[in-house]
């Protein structure tokens, strides 16, 4: 089985409070984009889970793909179902586009089929939130207005514009931003109707710009071309366009030191599109 594992954007990110355990209550609008890693799954006669190729500075045991497989292992129907997983990475790590969470969700969805675990999407999402706050939305596979730590999801249908996504040359630690004393944590909660009509802002933006000069520089550069947004805790920034041509025109002039992609928003995760075709083909 071969599945795409897409990135997400936080179209806005409001932090509305903090729980006793330190995690933050937030409100966000999640949209998938058609920029994806690809995960290949092959069952074998062994009983273990192997991941290839090795990712620099990421031991296998810490790879969210490995952790997701281990989390699902108790539910597999036969212990002789080992699996070899090959990861074709394209999404930058630590960019705020949720690559690791997406890979984890894709693994849960794939192995739920291949190992015949027969868990519902809701159950997979519940398991997945242990791996990261962004895993549930990738498991459920629809654009969503999210609350709680990102696990309370309401399905929404969003316009599907083109985005110019830019990765400044730095890595932002989600943990560092969320533990900063100056982070705004008291944005008043909004209603979903307000969110869909008027959007919102990203409460992490100013801190991320302050600690990461590269993000600030890219922000100021992109500002000349539209309303720049930060996704998650960064480092990626994005602009929205009505058509691919206009996005490509700006991309062509971006300083070479920054990675940049033109991509499109989608309301259904590409993982689900391909998985549903696989399920249809392998019925009976
Ligand atoms: C910023 C977002 O990407 C928005 O979608 C997510 O909230 C972050 O999701 P994530 O990367 O899956 O985050 P996790 O791996 O669960 O958490 C990383 C660290 O960020 C902090 N964290 C994360 C999510 C949250 N709602 N409150 C937090 O305080 C915690 O200190 C945690 O140790
Ligand atoms: N399969 C994986 N792909 C990417 N990162 C992984 C993976 N497994 C574990 N990680 C770890 O998770 C960290 C965050 O990766 P990820 O790509 O999800 O960041 P992000 O885009 O900032 O996510 P978020 O928006 O959820 O904060 C990485 O720095 C890496 O150490």
8 A C-beta contact, residue 239 and residue 226: yes
8 A C-beta contact, residue 267 and residue 161: no
- Please tell me if the CB atom of residue 10 comes closer than 6 angstroms to any atom of ligand 1: yes
| Fold agreement between 2-157+270-281 and 162-266 | no
Q: Give the position, in ligand 2's atom list, of the atom nearest the Cα of 97.
A: 21
Would you list the domain boundaries of the chain? 2-157+270-281, 162-266
Say how many Å lie between the CA of residue 281 and the centre of ligand 2.
Answer: 32
Q: Which of 65, 73, 86 is nearest to 114 (CA)?
A: 73
Contacts of 13 (CB under 8 A, 6+ apart): 26, 27, 28, 200, 201, 202, 203, 204, 230, 231, 232
pTM over the 0.90 mark:
yes
Q: Give the position, in ligand 1's atom list, of the atom nearest the Cα of 148.
A: 26
Instruction: Find out whether 92 is annotated in a ligand binding site.
Output: yes
Q: Other C-beta atoms within 10 Å of 236: how many? A: 29
Which-ligand-closest: CA of 56? 2
- Please tell me if the CB atom of residue 27 comes closer than 6 angstroms to any atom of ligand 1: no
Q: Give the position, in ligand 2's atom list, of the atom nearest the Cα of 99.
A: 17
Active site amino acids = 8, 134
Instruction: Find out whether 5 is annotated in a ligand binding site.
Output: no
Which-ligand-closest: CA of 106? 2
Per-residue confidence of the chain (284 residues) as pLDDT tens digits?
999 999 999 999 999 999 999 999 999 999 999 999 999 999 998 889 999 999 999 999 999 999 999 999 999 987 778 999 999 999 999 899 999 999 999 999 999 999 999 999 999 999 999 999 999 999 999 999 999 998 899 999 999 999 999 999 999 988 999 999 999 999 999 999 999 999 999 999 999 999 999 999 999 999 999 999 999 999 999 999 999 999 999 999 999 999 999 999 999 999 999 999 999 999 86
Say how many Å lie between the CA of residue 85 and the centre of ligand 1.
Answer: 25
Angle of the 121-128 helix axis to the 99-114 helix axis, nearest 10: 140
CATH number of 2-157+270-281: 3.30.230.10
- Please tell me if the CB atom of residue 128 comes closer than 6 angstroms to any atom of ligand 1: no
Give the homologous superfamily in CATH for domain 162-266.
GHMP kinase, C-terminal domain (3.30.70.890)
- Please tell me if the CB atom of residue 234 comes closer than 6 angstroms to any atom of ligand 2: no
Q: Other C-beta atoms within 10 Å of 43: how many? A: 15
């Amino acid at each position: 089985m071969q599945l795409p594992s897409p990135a997400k954007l936080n179209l806005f990110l409001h932090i509305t409070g903090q729980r006793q355990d330190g995690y933050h209550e937030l409100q966000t609008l999640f949209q998938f984009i058609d920029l994806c890693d690809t995960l290949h799954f092959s069952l074998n006669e062994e009983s273990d889970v192997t991941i290839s190729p090795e990712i620099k500075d990421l031991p296998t045991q810490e790879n969210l793909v490995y952790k997701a497989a281990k989390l699902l292992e108790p539910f597999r129907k036969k212990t002789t179902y080992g699996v070899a997983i090959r990861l074709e990475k394209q999404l930058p790590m630590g960019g705020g586009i949720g690559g690791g969470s997406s890979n984890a969700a894709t693994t849960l969805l794939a192995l739920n089929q291949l190992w015949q675990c027969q868990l519902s999407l809701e159950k997979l999402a519940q398991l997945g939130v242990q791996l990261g706050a962004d895993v549930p939305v990738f498991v459920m596979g629809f654009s969503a207005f999210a609350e709680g730590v990102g696990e309370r999801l309401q399905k929404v249908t969003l316009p599907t514009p083109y985005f110019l996504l830019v990765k400044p040359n730095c890595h932002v630690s989600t943990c560092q931003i969320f533990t900063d004393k100056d982070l705004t944590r008291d944005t008043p909660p909004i209603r979903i109707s307000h969110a869909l009509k008027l959007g919102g802002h990203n409460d992490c933006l100013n801190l991320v710009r302050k600690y990461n000069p590269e993000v600030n520089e890219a922000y100021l550069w992109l500002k000349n071309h539209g309303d720049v947004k930060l996704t998650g805790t960064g480092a990626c920034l994005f602009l929205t366009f009505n058509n691919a041509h206009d996005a490509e025109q700006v991309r062509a002039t971006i300083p070479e030191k920054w990675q940049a992609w033109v991509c499109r928003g989608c309301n259904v995760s590409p993982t689900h599109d391909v998985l549903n075709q696989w399920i249809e083909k392998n019925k009976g």
